[in-house]
């Protein structure tokens, strides 16, 4: 196991993972804050450090369309985007997954318009949560790098063949410099392996038709098959994580549990804000308060049973959402956590806080306020308000 320790941004780390994976084709379009990934990657192309053929398209819709064509043709394909770019791809996201094409995409999470905002928030990824892709979320640059490498193995697994989105927080992670351990180039390429074709369009001996019309007689069977394939994903994610651990020494699960075993109160939170939250949990532990945290990694498909079992013993939980699901509903993460706890009738009390939209800072003081509220709920069993925006002007 050889590792190289560097100081790099999240985008730089993802770009480096993509260089190491060395895809056959990439179609991409610039958008803040993901631009930097493809900028760095295209310099690898220009310097002959990768074999990748670039398609520098005129929109994100064409980026994903090009990725779909390239992937169907029969090779390894990746791209990166953010926010409006993902929104413009929306139609194509479903076609990529419905056609079962193993495309890997870095999603640098950013708020959606209007109002226009370029900063970190999860509205983009949450908007695409039901599009049939696998989603891996990353707390920091190291996880974004590690997830990107693993994403190719997961996507291209012969039992799955599904596209994977690797999510990392815009600016907070994409543009901040952190300590990262890079794995040796050879080890990455061995782990990812040779691309295995499945019904490639370019096979002239066996001509295939991609993208048929399927009417009510069979459409539903195709959708059910997709749902069934999704159910195989968690097992494969864990298998790939085991292989990844061998070359990196870093352990990955479907989610991370932090001081959760004996916890009475807990936070559930995605991506970068989990780091801040863990520090605050440590300080509560020092005060003798049994606090813990759960950070989902595999968000789609959502491991309901496993997460429900990991949280059921708590007295009170706050789910923090960096996106809202408008319509009088709760945040998207909250809805899934509530669903995962539904089978556990005497499970924890749940509250939901919406935080950090459009890049609003999530501070240790916010985690403290939430944890203090949970202490109170655990003590009294009373929830004053289930859903609330925090760190916001009234």
Partner 1 sequence: MATPLTLKELSKKEILLTSGHRMCSGCGAPIIVKMVLLASDYPIVAANATGCLEVSTCISDYTAWKIPWIHNAFENAAATLSGVETMYRSLKKQGKIDKDIKFIAFGGDGGTYDIGLQSLSGAMERGHDMLYVCYDNGAYMNTGIQRSSATPYGADTTTCPAGSVIQGKPQPRKNLTKIMAAHDIPYTAQASPSHWMDLVKKVKKALEIKGPKFMNILSPCNRGWRSKTDDAIQLSKLAVETCYWPLYEIENGVSKVTFKPKEKKPLVDFLKPQGRFKHLFAPENENMLKNFQEMVDKEWGSLLKASGTE
Q: Which is nearer to partner 1, 55 or 151 (CB)?
A: 55
Q: Which is nearer to partner 1, 94 or 389 (CB)?
A: 94
Q: Rule CB under 8 A: is residue 67 a binding residue for partner 1?
A: yes
- The neighbour count for residue 130, using CB atoms within 10 Å, is 11
How far apart (Å, rounded) are the C-alpha atoms in residues 87 and 152?
A: 23
Is there a contact between 162 and 132 (Cβ–Cβ < 8 Å)? yes
Residue choice 3, 118, 201, 289 for contact with partner 1 (CB under 8 A): 201
Burial class (CB in 10 A: 0-12, 13-18, 19+), 105: buried
- 327 contact partners, CB below 8 Å, separation of at least 6: none
- Min CB(339)–partner 1 separation in Å: 32
Strand residue runs (E) in 304-393? 316-321, 349-354, 387-389
Q: What separation in angstroms does the CA of 86 have from each of 121, 238, 271?
A: 13, 27, 18
Tokens 């993902």 — which residue?
A: 86
Q: Which is nearer to partner 1, 177 or 214 (CB)?
A: 214
Q: Rule CB under 8 A: is residue 44 a binding residue for partner 1?
A: no
How far apart (Å, rounded) are the C-alpha atoms in residues 24 and 71?
A: 9
Specify the DSSP class assigned to residue 380: H
Residue choice 12, 92, 169, 321 for contact with partner 1 (CB under 8 A): 92
Q: Rule CB under 8 A: is residue 51 a binding residue for partner 1?
A: yes
Helices 185-192, 219-248: crossing angle, 10 deg rounding: 150
Is there a contact between 326 and 341 (Cβ–Cβ < 8 Å)? no
Residue choice 3, 6, 45, 57 for contact with partner 1 (CB under 8 A): 57
Tokens 């539904």 — which residue?
A: 342
How many chain residues bind partner 1 (CB under 8 A)?
Answer: 42
Q: Rule CB under 8 A: is residue 159 a binding residue for partner 1?
A: no
- Min CB(47)–partner 1 separation in Å: 17
Binding mask 208-247 for partner 1 (x = CB under 8 A): xxxxxxxx--x-----------------------------
- Min CB(76)–partner 1 separation in Å: 9
Partners of 169 in the beta sheet?
109
Q: Rule CB under 8 A: is residue 46 a binding residue for partner 1?
A: no
Residue choice 32, 35, 62, 81 for contact with partner 1 (CB under 8 A): 62
Q: Rule CB under 8 A: is residue 248 a binding residue for partner 1?
A: no
- Min CB(225)–partner 1 separation in Å: 13
- Binding interface with partner 1 (CB under 8 A): 24-25, 27, 51-53, 55-59, 61-62, 65-75, 77, 91-92, 95, 201-204, 207-215, 218
């Amino acid at each position: 196991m050889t590792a190289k320790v560097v100081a790099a941004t999240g985008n730089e780390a993802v770009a480096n993972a993509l260089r190491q994976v060395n895809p056959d084709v990439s179609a991409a379009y610039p958008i803040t804050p993901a631009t930097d990934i493809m900028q760095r990657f295209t310099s690898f192309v220009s310097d002959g450090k990768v074999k990748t053929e670039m398609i520098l398209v005129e929109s994100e819709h064409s980026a994903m369309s090009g990725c779909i064509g390239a992937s169907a043709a029969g090779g390894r394909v990746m791209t990166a985007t953010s926010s409006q770019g993902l929104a413009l791809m929306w139609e194509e996201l479903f076609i990529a997954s419905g056609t079962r094409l193993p495309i890997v995409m870095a999603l640098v999470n950013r708020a959606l318009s209007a109002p226009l905002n370029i900063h970190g928030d999860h509205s983009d990824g949450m908007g695409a949560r039901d599009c049939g892709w696998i989603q891996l979320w990353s707390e920091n640059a190291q996880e974004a790098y590690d997830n990107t490498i693993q994403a190719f193995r997961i996507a291209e697994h012969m039992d799955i063949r599904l596209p994977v989105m690797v999510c990392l927080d815009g600016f907070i992670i994409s543009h901040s410099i952190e300590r990262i351990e890079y794995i040796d180039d050879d080890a990455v390429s061995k782990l990812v392996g040779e691309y295995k074709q499945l019904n490639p369009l370019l096979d002239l001996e066996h001509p295939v038709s991609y993208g048929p019309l399927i009417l009510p007689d069979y459409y539903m069977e195709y959708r059910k098959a997709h749902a069934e394939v999704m159910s195989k994903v968690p097992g494969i994610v864990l298998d790939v994580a085991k292989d990844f651990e061998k070359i990196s020494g870093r352990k990955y699960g479907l989610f991370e549990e932090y001081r959760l075993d004996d916890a009475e109160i807990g936070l559930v939170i995605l991506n970068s804000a989990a780091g801040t939250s863990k520090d605050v949990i440590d300080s509560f532990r020092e005060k003798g308060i049994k606090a813990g945290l759960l950070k989902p990694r595999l968000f789609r498909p959502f491991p309901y049973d496993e997460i429900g079992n990991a949280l059921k013993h708590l007295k009170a939980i706050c789910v923090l959402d960096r996106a809202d699901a408008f319509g009088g509903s709760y945040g998207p993460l909250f809805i899934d956590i509530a669903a995962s706890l539904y089978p556990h009738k005497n499970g924890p009390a749940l509250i939901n806080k919406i935080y950090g939209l459009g890049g609003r800072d999530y501070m240790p003081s916010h985690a403290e306020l939430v944890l203090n509220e949970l202490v109170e709920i655990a003590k009294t069993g009373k929830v004053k308000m289930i859903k609330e925006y925090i760190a916001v002007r009234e």
